[in-house]
Structure 1
Amino acid sequence: MELLNHLQNKRNTAALDLIEKGTDLTFIDQNSNTALHYASSNGFTEVVVRILEENTSIIDNQGQHGQTAVHRALQNGNTETFVSLVAYGANINVLDVKGQSCLDMAMKRKDLNLVKLLCYFGAEVALQDWILLSGDINALDKQDQVILKQILDQNDRLAAINHG
């Protein structure tokens, strides 16, 4: 609990000290969040890496609203933390309680770089869920067209992988 308190109050050095002393990394708070959720939210990449060096079993734990540490990192624009989570084996295709994946979050934010990164890491595409597909692609603004093309390309890549 002390570790979560340090992370919530943005005291990453104190958090690192507790991790070094062997504190419980699997503690879950009243919102179902772990230290990994809070470290990811705050972009404390060094803390995230230290936690995962000790224990990867919590990497895909779903906390408040069904979000994983990956969701929390991306939601707060912490790309470096996100990449570290993926490097340790985080699943980027977990859906939160609203049925949204990390790719859905990136598309809603119209963050092309994040969409590309998620596709590179193998994000699954659920095209039926994306509202941009309901109309004429030429009617979309330039940014949406580029994002849609990226998603369609990813869908083609996944189809090729799945069907040889």
Structure 2
Amino acid sequence: MEFERGMWNCAVYGKTDQLLRLLKKGVNVNSQDRYGFTPLHYASRNGRTATCELLLSHGADVFAVTRNGKATALHRAAFCGHLDVVKLLCSCQKSEDYPPLASMLDVDGQTCLHSAARGNQPVVLHWLSITYPELISIRDNAGKTASDLLPL
């Protein structure tokens, strides 16, 4: 468990050298804390693009979701406004047979576009809207689109 704590800490603070040492020791790149957050969730939330790249190159699962909220790392990056991380995560597609990561819904039925709206992140909102226009009309479990969630 100490190794995993080290991984999460490295992900939060972008300590890529230490993270690489842990990965070389065989620590599970997809280890989850008690809330289901993986190192990729933490790196994404904190805008650590290089750390996300390292984790992804070692097999981090972009489709991993948190236990309660079912949020992906993309939801977290979008909410926090980290456009470079959002673009990186969106570029990770398993195959044509899978729906885009951007269309994944959390427990509230919200996409990453909803997350960007809730976080009041106009740059991320714009990029996601242009890149994935199909997200604009998606309504969450409360019947709200992303634009309905924008602050006044």
Look up the match of 1:126.
138
Report the TM-score, using the length of structure 1 for normalisation: 0.68
The amino acid that maps onto 1:129 is K
Question: What does 1:38-77 align with in structure 2 at a 5 Å threshold?
Answer: 38-56=42-60, 58-64=61-67, 65-77=69-81
Deviations 1:14-37 (A, max 9, x none): 224323444310211100111110
Q: Kindly indicate whether the alpha-carbon contact (under 8 Å) linking 1:19 and 1:50 is maintained by their aligned counterparts in 2.
A: no
The amino acid that maps onto 2:144 is D
Work out the CA distance in 2 between the residues paired with 1:70 and 1:59. 8
Report the TM-score, using the length of structure 2 for normalisation: 0.72
Structure of greater relative contact order (alpha carbons < 8 Å, 6+ residues apart): 2
**Across the two proteins, how many residue pairs are aligned to each other?**
133
Q: Is 2:27 the partner of 1:23?
A: yes
- Secondary structure at the counterpart of residue 115 of structure 1: helix
Specify whether residues 109 and 42 from structure 1 end up closer, same or farther in structure 2 by C-alpha distance, changes over 3 A only. Answer: closer
Q: Kindly indicate whether the alpha-carbon contact (under 8 Å) linking 2:8 and 2:38 is maintained by their aligned counterparts in 1.
A: yes
Work out the CA distance in 2 between the residues paired with 1:112 and 1:68. 20
Larger helix proportion, structure 1 or 2?
A: 1
C-alpha deviation, 1:117, in angstroms? 0.9
Unaligned runs of 5+ in 2: 94-99
Q: CA RMSD in A?
A: 2.7
